[in-house]
Homo-oligomer: A and B are copies of this chain.
Amino acid sequence: MFKRLALIGVGLIGSSISHAARRAGLVGEIVGASPTPATRERAEELGLVAKMYADPADAVRGADLVILCSPVGTYEAVAKAIGPHLQQGAIVTDVGSVKCAVVRDVAPHVPEGVHFIAGHPIAGTEQSGPDAGFAELFDGRWCILTPGDAADKDALAKLQEFWRRLGSEVEIMSPEHHDMVLAITSHLPHLIAYNIVNTAAHLERVTDTEVIKFSAGGFRDFTRIAASDPVMWRDVFLNNKDAVLEMLGRFSEDLSSLQRAIRFGDGETLEKLFTEARAIRRGVIHANQDTPQPDFGRRATGDAKVTQR
């Protein structure tokens, strides 16, 4: 589909795109750029790219597809640096977890005749770096594109096909709506997970050792989410402030009413709210975004429940 793909950043998402694009035979050659020498060395060693560059401008020369895969806080500088070196007719896209800020930061630096279409694959793990990627990451997941009205129809169709062949289904929406949807399905969950882990770490009456030892009662799953990359998430919150604050307001309002129900021993309200939450869970399983397999904290020996049944 493409002769030369340039990945700006080869962490979890960039390296997974490399694996998945090679699995499907979508690109002739892949090159990359990243600031840290160790990352560049490792990306070449793993065969993720034919060549890594320190300067993203060098990586995009001659590329007909450029994908920004670094934290969103770096996009403006990257766009400024690569702008003058982009090839006519090339498609520039990204994978950033926010979209309004990305369109605002990147679009002005993309020259006429180059097609910029912002995107975001809704797939990930809590790990990062070039070793974290794998080809199956996008399989059965959604990729959201936020092209805007002026986007080139052919470029959009080609990018959609690219994501489908990486394993994803594609959904088109506005950057504004994307940021609202992701604020509740991804940004707020991460914020809350980070928060409870920090609350637990600073108690006087319960030690960190106890928190860790007895984490199998639920806390464990929050520590997993809170293990995600701090710089990536800092940039997400700095760049999706309004939607996150709106969702956080709703969350706190609802939490206050749960708190009230606990304080006054209102079991009926608690049971009703807990029961309603199950319907959404059934939807998630039905939509194939998780399995009904129970989770009890897998161990190095594998998931006993799954292998046993």
Contacts and interface: CB of A to CB of B under 8 A. Distances in A.
A200 B276 CA distance: 11
> Could you say which of A205, A280, A286, A306 has the most chain B C-beta atoms within 10 Å of its C-beta?
A280
Contacts of A304: 134, 136, 139
Contacts of A227: 277-278, 281
A71 to B, nearest CB: 11
A38 interface: no
Contacts of A306: 302
Interface residues of A, number: 121
Interface stretch (A39-47, A102-110, A248-256): A248-256
A27 interface: no
Interface string A196-212: 11111111011011111
Interface string A257-274: 011011101010011011
B127 A217 contact: no
A231 interface: yes
Interface in A87-104: 97
Nearest to A291: B298
B185 A218 contact: yes
Contact of A263 (B122, B142, B196, B241): B241
Contact of A141 (B192, B196, B211, B216): B216
Contacts of A125: 294-296, 305
Contact of A215 (B132, B252, B290): B290
Given A216-B122, A220-B289, A195 B255 contact: yes
A189 interface: yes
A275 B233 CA distance: 10
A262 B250 contact: no
Contacts of A195: 251, 254-255, 258
Interface of A: 73, 97, 122-127, 132, 134, 136-137, 139-142, 144, 171, 180-182, 184-203, 205-206, 208-228, 230-231, 233-235, 237-238, 241, 244-245, 247-248, 250-252, 254-255, 258-259, 261-263, 265, 267, 270-271, 273-281, 283-284, 286-291, 293-300, 302-306, 308
Ranked 4 nearest A-B pairs via Cβ:
A186-B217, A125-B294, A230-B274, A189-B218
